[in-house]
Amino acid sequence: MSDTPRTWLTGATSGIGRALAERLLARGERVALSGRDAEALEALAARHPNALVLPLDVTDRAAVREAGARLEAAFGGLDRVILNAGTCEYLAASDFDVDLVERVFAPNFHGAVYCIDAALPLLRRARAEGGRPLLAATSSAAAYLPLPRAEAYGASKAALSHFLESLRLDLAGEGIDVSVIHPGFVRTPLTDRNDFPMPMRVEVDAAAEAILKGLDRRRLDIHFPRRFTLLVKLTGILPAALRYRLGRRLTRPEAAPEAR
């Protein structure tokens, strides 16, 4: 078992991922930092000899497989994996865009699956060394409840949550824990692009602290801010007709699409 925790973090260059990276590195953990911006990764790692820069586009399956080989060579095993890479685009039903749906699913779901495929052998190695490894990924509170224009984003996150919760059951016998992170609104460069009110939005530092606290306690479902996420969860279990009526209040009037 490694004396120093070995962590792989994707989406490390901005927002929640960067805040997590800074805290994990400050703890003295050995952290492999992945993201598409190699320069930003190098700048983040410059002050931390415990950082491994691992540039990566998680949607590139071959590149993810190669990253797994590099992680094995550098760390041997992994005690923790935090899959945080993702994107968000909103769909207008009046201008239905299949390419948009595929763009969102590529990092949010398929990219996470590619990373899990690469990480599992290294998590198993850590378990064989006597550790209790942890796999975690950032989903969203949107996974709890269908919302207008969130067909692509919400579905990709719901798919990720379902996949991980199922995988948790199958990995339990191996001694590998799985945590799913469901943030509400967090102030990041991604949410700064949103064109609608974001109730109870929290700062990125508060989000990172909540996530690390939940990971340290190995919570199954790490969600915050709890006043918001509990309300979303409650709404998500209402009868379908009532959910529909509530959701309709949030929709925007759209021009009817032209006949083709």
CA 20 to chain CA centroid, nearest Å:
12
Q: For residues 122 and 175, is the Cβ–Cβ distance under 8 A?
A: no
Catalytic one of 90, 114, 144, 153: 153
Token pair of 7 as six digits = 């962590």
The question of whether 153 is a catalytic residue gets the answer yes
The angle subtended at Cα 101 by Cα 205 and Cα 134, nearest 5°, is 45
Residue 6 and residue 8: Cα distance in Å, rounded?
7
Closest CA to 70 of 36, 32, 38: 32
Residue 110 and residue 102: Cα distance in Å, rounded?
10
Catalytic residue IDs = 153
